[in-house]
Structures are given as C-alpha cells and as structure tokens.
Chain A
Amino acid sequence: MRETATATLPEAWGVLPAVLAVALVGVGLGLVVASVDRAVLAGRTRGAVLEPLREGARLLLEQRRTTLAPDRLLWRLGCVAVPVLALLSLAVVPVGGRTLWSTSADLVWFNAMEALLWAAIWLVGWGPNAFHALAGGYRFLAQGLAYELPLMFALVTVGVAAGSLRTTDVLAAQDGLWFVVTMPVAFAVFVASAAAFAFWGPFAAPTSADIAGGVTSELSGVDRLLVEAGRGVFLGATAAMAAALFLGGDSGPWLPGPLWQLLKTLAVVTALVWVGRRLPVLRPDRTVEVGWMVLVPLTLVQALVVAVLVLSGFYA
C-alpha cells in the first residue's frame, strides 16, 4: 500500500486561494467544453471562445420565462444545484497533482456528487410543472440508474488497483503504467457514463428534440445559464478526473506535470465533445438493457481481472 505525503491545495496555498483557484479551474473547464463544442459544431475555431461568453452574458440579461403554477422552490434549487455539484465534484480532482480535499474516500465523493446531480436534474424537470420537462426528468432518472452501476464498478476497479480511494494515491499508483492499459473497459465505461450523467451526445435523450428539449425545455435566462454551465463544468471535471484516474494524471516526459495534465484533459474533452456530437441520440428503449445486461457484467469482469492482477503483485 503506497502512502503518499502529498499536501492538499489548502495546505499549500491557504484555504481561500485554493478554493478560488479550483472554482476558477472549474469555470475554465466549462468554458473549454463550450468552446470545443462550438468549434466542433461550426467547423471553425474563430469565435469559439467568445461565443459561449457572449451567449452567457445574453442569458444573464434575458428575462425569465415562467410557467403556470411551477414548484418554484424545487426548480430554483435544482438549477442552482447543477453547477454547485459540478464544482464540488472538482474538490477531489487533482489540480497540479494536488486536490482541494483529500480524504480516504475521494472516489466515492465524486460518485456521490454525480448521484446528487442526477437527482438535481430531476428537480429541474419537475419544477416547471410542464409535460415535456417532466418527461425528460423521468427519462433521466430511469437512464441514470442504468448508468450508475457500471460507473461505480469502473471507479471500484481504479480503487482496487490503487489500493486506495484517494485520488492522489491513484496518481502515485500509476507511476509505472497508466491504468488505461490494464483497465480499458473501465476507462471507456467511466467516460461514457460520465457523459451520460451530463446527458451528453448519444445519451441526450432527456433533452432530445422528440420531447421539445425535455428537462431544459422550460429553462430561460439565468436558470438556463446555470444548468448549461453546470453541464459544461461537469463534463470538464469528468475529463480531468478521467485523465487523472486512467491516463496517469500529470506524468509524462519533458513537459512539466500540470501541462501534461492539461493536455490529457483537453484530449479527453475534445474526444468527448467530438464523438458526442457525431453520434445520434440513442433511444433509451433500445439501449437501456445494454447497460444492465452487457456493461454491468463487463465492468465486473474488468474488476475481477484487475483484482487478480493486484493479487499477483502486478501493480506493486
């Protein structure tokens, strides 16, 4: 069992600067996701950074639409919770090799934030008292259940190999070999399920056009900004986490560590956005069974393989 003496970010920089830095990183990651998305959609990079900012400013100034007899409390709560939870999930994602919060259950924390995000999205669908939003919310709830277990097993696999649920220990355990080499299935499942928790790309059925935008159909103004920004931040946090858990984080030759991590995160973001935009939305009734019948056994076998490797001393 490796014990690392890595200090957390607050220990290194002080609490307030560390929190601010991580929040800024989160917003930056969200902006990166939005910019890459804009570039992929438009097919050109010109204005890719400015356009999301302009759109954000427009949403800030836009007057809020409302619906008949909404559940205002839960609606607002859901909208605010989306970006807050996305930022909270960043607390255990290493920034420059250190995390804002280092506990013996980092991976479970990340998973818990995803679960809370899942519940928050249902609130966003529930709040407006509108049919399409509610249908999208229920869709997401049913789908999220099917994504949750494979995602958990992917995270468990990482924890088993590292012998710890601490993110910095996972980074240290990948000194010799990136985890993606021995656990490609867990990597793919982690990235795909995380995209699914942000109802991104082929998993966008909760917001798809057949239900007029679903969960997001009644959002306007600052509410829409919060949900869309939270979605971007969460996708970015996921990419950073995937880079840390499976791609060795900040390890790499020649370049300094943080730059490597940035490059890997950018690579995962680009892949997520590019692939997501090129795949059609999957129909839940034709795919949910795949999650239960194929992905769960696959991730279990992956965990078994890694557990056998651990017992044989492969990662030591």
Chain B
Amino acid sequence: MLTDLSGWVIATVAVLGLLSVASGVAVFVVDSMARATFALLGSFLAVAGVLLAFDLVYLAVVTALMMTIEMAIMAVFMVMFMMNPAGLMPMTMVHNPKGSAVVGAGAFVVLTVGIWTIDWPARRGQLPTDSTRQLGEAVMGSHMLVMLIVGIGLFATILAGTVLATARGRYDRFGADLAARRPDDPVPGGLPR
C-alpha cells in the first residue's frame, strides 16, 4: 500500500498523523472544556486531512463536517453538565489517571501490534476514478442492510438519550389525564399547537 503513494503524500500523512495525536494529547493536558473540545476537533480535522491525502475527498469532508457539528454540540453539553457551568474554572479531562493510563497504553499496544503484524490483503482491482460514487454505491447497495441497521440504531440511541435527559414527559405537557388540547411548554417554540 505504502508503495502506491508518493513521497509527498507519505510526508503529509505523517505530519497530519502527528498533529492529530498531539491534539489528542492536548485534550487531556489543557484545563478548560472549550479548549479540550477544540483540541479534539483539531485532531479530527487532522484525520480528515489524512483522508484527503489518500484522495478520499467525500470521506474527508464528511468527517470534518460531522465532527465539527458533533464537537460544537459536545461543547454545549459538556459545559452545561460541568460543576461550574461557565466552564472557565480549571478542569481536567482525566479521571482515574492510573487506570486510564493502563487502559490507554494497553489499547495502543494491541492496536499497533495488530496493525503491523496482520497480513493485510493486497488490493484487488483498480483505484476507482470516483471514490465518492463507489462509496455511494456500496452504501446504497451491498452494504445497505448494515447501514440501515446502524442508522436505526443511532436514531434509537438519540431518541433514548433525549427521553432519558428530559425532565418533562407527556404528563407534564398534557396534564395528568393527557386531556389538554395544547401542551403546556415553558418555551412556546413558535408553532400554534
């Protein structure tokens, strides 16, 4: 695989890889939730850059897009759920330092050994002219069942998370006998319901 890439691409991937690891480390070094969030975003953007260097444009751009949205939302929720909601109080992302260091180092060793010792299969066929189209055909064709299950699983998780997180249920909104015609919401929202 490495032999397929030019020297520039390998150098770019190496630099971006180091950058992503460095940003990842920064997440646990900085002392503010906002900085930790954006360090993590920087790490993801570096990974998107690696994908871009591999000429997987769609995957790269979608990674950047999704991770940006995710990190922005995470910033809100993490800051909201912190002891000090203003979030400016010094904090740390590290809990149970010894245990997490052991788990982290163990996972790193397992992954690295696996990556370098597995006999990776050689490429069959040619590079597609349009990797985006190939990806779309795979997602909507041979891998559709997997994608559907993953999608529904994610959606169910989101719904379950929201249901668990919200303090108000239907009895708060529509009364004890669910008879109210209009829900009693603290913030109206805009639609005449």
Enumerate chain A interface residues (CB-CB to B < 8 A): 69, 71, 73-74, 77, 103-105, 108-109, 111-112, 115-116, 118-119, 122-123, 126, 129, 134, 138, 141-142, 144-145, 148, 165, 285-290, 293-294
Give the complex CA separation of A123 and B34 in angstroms.
8
The 15 sampled A-B contact pairs (Cβ below 8 Å) are A74-B34, A74-B35, A103-B132, A104-B57, A104-B132, A105-B61, A105-B132, A112-B61, A116-B64, A118-B68, A122-B72, A141-B76, A145-B69, A145-B73, A289-B189
Partner of A115, one of B35, B68, B130: B68
B49, chain A: closest CB distance, angstroms: 12
Residues of A within 8 A of B176 (CB): none
- Asked if B130 contacts A104 (CB within 8 A), the reply is yes
In this assembly, does B188 line the interface, its C-beta being within 8 Å of a C-beta of chain A? Answer: yes
For residue B34, which residue of chain A has the nearest CB? Answer: A126
- Asked if B72 contacts A118 (CB within 8 A), the reply is yes
Complex A-B, nearest 5 residue pairs according to Cβ-Cβ distance, in ascending order: A289-B189, A104-B132, A112-B65, A105-B58, A289-B190
Give the complex CA separation of A112 and B189 in angstroms.
28
For B127-164 the 0/1 string (1 means CB < 8 A from A) is 00011110000000000000000000000000000000
Partner of B41, one of A71, A73, A119, A141: A119
Residues of A within 8 A of B132 (CB): 103-105, 165
Residue total for B at the interface (Cβ-Cβ under 8 A): 29
- Asked if B57 contacts A103 (CB within 8 A), the reply is yes
Residues of B within 8 A of A126 (CB): 34
- Asked if B34 contacts A71 (CB within 8 A), the reply is yes
In this assembly, does B180 line the interface, its C-beta being within 8 Å of a C-beta of chain A? Answer: no
Residues of A within 8 A of B75 (CB): 122, 141
- Asked if A141 contacts B72 (CB within 8 A), the reply is yes
For residue B76, which residue of chain A has the nearest CB? Answer: A141
- Asked if B69 contacts A148 (CB within 8 A), the reply is yes
Q: A288-B189, A288-B190, A289-B191 are in contact. Are A71 and B57 (CB under 8 A)?
A: no
A5, chain B: closest CB distance, angstroms: 13
- Asked if B65 contacts A290 (CB within 8 A), the reply is no
Residues of B within 8 A of A138 (CB): 76
In this assembly, does B88 line the interface, its C-beta being within 8 Å of a C-beta of chain A? Answer: yes
Residues of B within 8 A of A112 (CB): 61-62, 64-65, 68
Contacts of B25-84 to chain A: CB distance below 8 A: 32, 34-35, 38, 41, 57-58, 61-62, 64-65, 68-69, 71-73, 75-76
- Asked if A115 contacts B65 (CB within 8 A), the reply is yes
Give the complex CA separation of A286 and B131 in angstroms.
43
Identify 15 new A-B residue pairs, CB closer than 8 A, beyond the known A74-B35, A129-B88: A71-B34, A103-B61, A104-B57, A104-B58, A105-B57, A105-B61, A108-B61, A109-B61, A115-B64, A115-B65, A115-B68, A115-B69, A144-B72, A165-B58, A285-B189
Give the complex CA separation of A138 and B85 in angstroms.
13
- Asked if A285 contacts B188 (CB within 8 A), the reply is yes
Residues of B within 8 A of A129 (CB): 88
In this assembly, does B118 line the interface, its C-beta being within 8 Å of a C-beta of chain A? Answer: no
In this assembly, does B187 line the interface, its C-beta being within 8 Å of a C-beta of chain A? Answer: yes
Give the complex CA separation of A258 and B62 in angstroms.
31
Q: A108-B58, A118-B68, A119-B41 are in contact. Are A71 and B32 (CB under 8 A)?
A: yes
For residue A289, which residue of chain B has the nearest CB? Answer: B189
